[in-house]
Amino acid sequence: MAAVLVIGTLASAGVFRGGGGSSGGSDAGPKYRITVPQTLAGGEYKLAKDISQQAAQAVPQDGANEHGVKAVGGQYASGMKSLVMLGLYGVIDDPETTVDHAIRGMTRDGKTEVAVADKEFTPSGGGDSLTCGVDVRTEMGQKVTLPFCVWADSSTSGNVAETDAAHLSKDPRSIDLQAFADKADKIRSEVRKPLG
């Protein structure tokens, strides 16, 4: 089921780009990059597979809203849980557009539907908000509950989604999205590193 999550999430990555090619971008240039560490969330998740190559193939380097983009990603495991982290870094003109395209892209495959509409969450410890929600994806007749969080700033964007094999069809409304946003914020701090 983890592979299903990876492919579904990668399919959504294709719309990170937000449309056709154009020139432009911020003069300030990228400030951060996204890395794929061996562990995430304070060691809770361990890297099972680096999927940066697949991510790079799924995401164009230049689009209407993102320029000079590099895509990276990792599939992580923690017991029965599988987590996918996808990241982009480069120049992002409008972070809100990037977040919106990423979220809309998750439901474009015809197998995934919105179960809990996305909304902004501020991490419990403060800091930049993330947009989180819950989708339900149908794979081989099995409904899979998929909480996710997305963030973007002027030089990075990230997407974190999780499945739990012990509770594949968990009631989407029972998921504590604030807690998931806090976890995603911790992951953001672990994968986003200053350039140089």
* 155 backbone dihedrals φ, ψ, rounded to 5°: -135, -10
pLDDT at 19 over 50: no
CB 2 within 8 A of CB 77: yes
- The sign of the dihedral angle between the CA atoms of 174, 43, 188, 20 is negative
- Per DSSP, 9 falls in state H
| pLDDT per residue as tens digits for the range 41-73 | 999 999 999 999 988 888 878 888 889 999 999
Q: What is the pLDDT of residue 28?
A: 58
Q: What is the pLDDT of residue 29?
A: 59
Written as one string, the DSSP assignment of 46-108 is: EEEEE-HHHHHHHS-S--SSEEEEEEEEEEEEETTEEEEEEEEEEEES-HHHHHHHHHHHTTT
Q: What is the pLDDT of residue 45?
A: 97
What's the rounded mean pLDDT across residues 187-196? 93
The Cα–Cα gap between 23 and 188 comes to 28
| pLDDT per residue as tens digits for the range 142-169 | 898 999 999 999 999 999 999 998 888 8
pTM of the predicted protein model: 0.88
Q: Which residues of 11-42 are buried (b: 16+ CB within 10 A; e: fewer)?
A: bbbbbbbbeeeeeebeeeebbbbbebbeebbe
Specify the amino acid at residue 84: V
Q: Please give the biggest Cα pair distance in the chain.
A: 49
Q: What is the pLDDT of residue 60?
A: 79
| pLDDT per residue as tens digits for the range 89-139 | 999 999 999 999 888 888 888 888 999 999 999 999 999 999 999 999 888
Q: What is the pLDDT of residue 59?
A: 81
Domains, the chain:
2-17+30-194 (3.40.1000)
Element (H, E) at 191: helix 177-191
Model confidence at 16, pLDDT cuts 50, 70, 90, reads: very low
Q: What is the pLDDT of residue 10?
A: 53
The Cα–Cα gap between 144 and 107 comes to 13
Choice among 3-17, 79-93, 127-141 with the minimum mean pLDDT: 3-17
Q: What is the pLDDT of residue 195?
A: 87
